[in-house]
Amino acid sequence: MTKSKSFLHHFIKQFTSNSNSGNEEDDLERIAAREQKQFSFDILVKATKNFDPSSKLGQGGFGPVYKGKLDDGREIAVKKLSQSSRQGKREFFNEAKLLARVQHRNVVNLLGYCMHGVDKLLVYEYVVNESLDKLLFRSEGADKLDWKSRHAIIKGIAKGLLYLHEDAPTCIIHRDIKASNILLDEKWVAKIADFGMARLYPEDETYVHTRIAGTNGYMAPEYVVHGRLSVKADVFSFGVVVLELISGRKNSNFDRDPECRNLLEWAFKLYKRGKSLEIMESVLVSSAIPDEVQLCVQIGLLCTQSDPQLRPDMGRVLVILSKRPGSLEEPTRPGYPGTRYRRSRQQRGSVSSSSGTSGDFYSRTIGSTTGTNTATASASTSSVSGPVFDRHGKRPMEG
C-alpha cells in the first residue's frame, strides 16, 4: 500500500462508523493518489505552545483555532475539532476531503491533518491579515483598503471561484462565500476559506431534495426558496461581496435608505438613476478609478439578479474585469430571500445538498458580532426550472 493510501485509510477509520462510511471511503480513495502530509500531535503541541490561550485565534461551532509556528519557520493555523460537536465532525470531514483536491493561489492551503485519539485537527497556512470583514466593516480598518486593493480582492475571489467551479478536479460549490470567509495575506491577496459547507457538483444529477443552510444576506433566492444549489448560487454570493467591497456596508444589516430593504436594492436604485458612484464608500474617493468602480457595481448587480440563468459564470466575470467591455447588458432587479417566485420552463441543471452550520474561517472561530448568522430550512424541488421573482411576496427570512 502506498504511503498516501496508508494515511488515507488511517484517516478514514476515524470517521467510518456509520452507514454512510462506504461512500466517504470511496470518495477518499479516488483522491488517494495525491500525497497528503500528516502532522504528529507533538509537533502541533509544540507549534501552538500546548494550545496556549494566547495562541488562540478564535472559537466557533467547529471548535477553537490556534496560531502556531513550525520548526522550519512556517506559521500555521490549527483547527481543532470540538469533541462535543457532531456538526463540526461532519464539517471537518467535508473540509478535509474537499481541500485535499484543490491547490490555487486564491484558495486557502490545507497543509495536512492530525488524528490523535479523540483529537482531530486540520492544519492550514496562516494568513496574516485574517478575514476581509474585520477590515471592511470596522471604521478603523476600512482605510487600509484603497480602491486598488479592493479591485484586486474582487479579481482574486473571482479567480478562486473560477478554479473551484471549472478547473478543480471536480466542480466544487463553496456555498458560503461571504466577507468573513475571505482571508487576506500579507500582500492582500484574497484566499477563499472555510469549506465546511462546500459540496461537489454531481455531473449525473440535475437537482436533489434537500435541507438548506447558509448565511443570511449571501444566499441566492432560488436556493433559499426552493433548495436549488448550483454554481450560480456562488455567483450570487460573490456579487453581494463585490457590492459590500464597494460600499463598505453589510447587506444583512443595511440601513442606509429606508426605501430599500437591503444593499442590493439600494445599489440597483442608484444604478438605474445613473448614480453608481454614490454607492462607493467615502474613504475610496481619493484612490478610486471611476470607470472601474462603475463597472464593478454593474458586475455586482449582474451577479445578484433574481434569475440564476441571467447571472454570468465566473469565467465571464473575469473576462469583463480584465477587458473592460465597451457595452454590457443591463442588470435586472436583484433577488433576495423571501421573494415569492414563479417558475419558468427552462433552467440549467442544478443540485442541492445538505449542510451544517455557517461561519467564517477565523472569525466564525473568533465569535464575531458582525452579523454572521445561520439560516436553515427544509426545501424540496419538483421540476427543473428558473425563477422569476415577485418582490412583493412573502419574506420568510431577512437577508
Q: Is residue 295 part of a domain?
A: yes
Model pTM above 0.75: yes
Q: Are residues 190 and 308 in the same domain?
A: yes
The per-residue b/e assignment along 15-29, b for 16 or more CB within 10 angstroms, e otherwise, is bbeeeeeeebbebbe
Q: State which amino acid sits at residue 201.
A: Y
Do residue 97 and residue 183 come from a single domain?
no
Assess if residue 78 is contained within a domain: yes
* Domain of 27, in residue numbers: 3-125
**Are 387 and 393 spatial neighbours (Cβ–Cβ below 8 Å)?**
no
pLDDT in tens, 236-291: 999 999 999 999 999 988 877 888 889 999 999 999 999 999 999 999 999 999 99
- Co-location of 110 and 178 in the same domain: no
Residues 108 and 140 in one domain: no
Helix (H, G, I), strand (E, B) or coil at 79: strand
Q: Which residues are catalytic?
A: 176
- CA angle (250, 362, 288) in 5-degree steps: 40
Residue 383 confidence (pLDDT): 33
User: How many Cα atoms within 13 Å fall on the side-chain side of residue 330?
Assistant: 7
The answer to whether residues 194 and 355 touch, using CB atoms and an 8 Å cutoff, is no
Identify the pLDDT of residue 310.
96
| 398 occurs within a structural domain | no
Residues 173 and 312 reside in one and the same domain? yes
User: What is the spatial distance between Cα 207 and Cα 227, in angstroms, rounded to a whole number?
Assistant: 9
Looking at the structure, tell me whether residues 121 and 138 fall in a common domain.
Answer: no
The CATH number given to whatever domain includes residue 63 is 3.30.200.20
For the stretch 324-336, pLDDT in tens is: 666 789 999 998 7
What string of pLDDT tens digits covers the 399 residues of the chain?
544 444 444 444 444 444 454 454 344 334 333 445 678 999 999 999 999 999 998 876 577 899 999 999 999 999 888 776 666 677 777 777 777 778 899 999 988 888 788 888 889 999 998 799 989 998 777 788 999 999 999 999 999 999 999 999 888 899 899 999 999 999 999 999 988 777 776 655 544 335 576 788 999 998 888 888 889 999 999 999 999 999 999 998 887 788 888 999 999 999 999 999 999 999 999 999 999 999 999 999 999 999 999 999 999 999 999 876 667 899 999 987 555 445 444 443 333 333 333 344 443 433 333 333 444 333 333 333 333 333 333 333 333
Fill in the amino acid letter for 20: N
Strand, coil or helix: 77: strand
Single out the residue in 110, 125, 140 at which a domain terminates.
125
State the Cα–Cα distance between residues 212 and 229, nearest whole angstrom: 9
Same domain, 174 and 64: no
Question: Which residues 6+ apart lie within 8 Å of 219 measured at CB?
Answer: 212, 233, 236, 237, 337, 375, 399
Contact call for residues 70 and 40 (beta carbons, < 8 A): no
Q: What per-residue confidence (pLDDT) applies to 213?
A: 63
What are the two backbone dihedrals, phi and then psi, of residue 131, each rounded to the nearest 5 degrees?
-100, 155
Whether 96 and 146 map to the same domain: the answer is no
Cβ(111)–Cβ(119) below 8 Å: no
Count Cβ neighbours within 10 Å for each residue of 248-259 and write b for 16 or more, e otherwise: bbbbbbbeeeee
Strands 119-125 and 110-116: antiparallel
From 125, 151, 185, give the residue that closes a domain.
125
Coil, helix or strand at residue 108:
coil
Say whether both 121 and 257 belong to one domain. Answer: no
Instruction: Confirm whether 215 is domain-assigned.
Output: yes
CA pair distance 43, 32, nearest whole angstrom:
24
- Report the alpha-carbon distance of residue 110 to residue 164 in Å, rounded: 15
Read off the C-alpha cell for 12.
Answer: 478514514
Choose one of 68, 103, 125: the last residue of a domain. 125
The answer to the question of residue 397 being in a domain is: no
Whether residues 139 and 69 share a domain: the answer is no
- Burial group, residue 204, by CB count within 10 angstroms (0-12, 13-18, 19+): exposed
Cβ atoms 122, 78 nearer than 8 A: yes
Instruction: Fill in the DSSP letter of residue 131.
Output: B
On whether both 142 and 76 belong to a single domain, the answer is no
pLDDT at position 14: 44
User: Residues 47-84, buried b or exposed e (16+ Cβ, 10 A)?
Assistant: bbeebeeebbbbebbbbbbbbbeeeeeeebbbbbbbee
Is 23 domain-assigned?
yes
Question: What does the pLDDT read at residue 50?
Answer: 95
Q: Does 228 share its domain with 356?
A: yes
CA distance 118 to 170: 31
pLDDT at 268: 95
What CA–CA distance (Å, rounded) separates 207 from 230?
Answer: 9
Contact criterion met (CB below 8 Å) for 166 and 199: no
Q: How far out from the chain centre does Cα 157 lie?
A: 9
Question: Hey, which bits of 271-365 come out as E strands?
Answer: 340-343
Provide the grid cell at 250.
453589510
The total of structural domains in the chain comes to 2
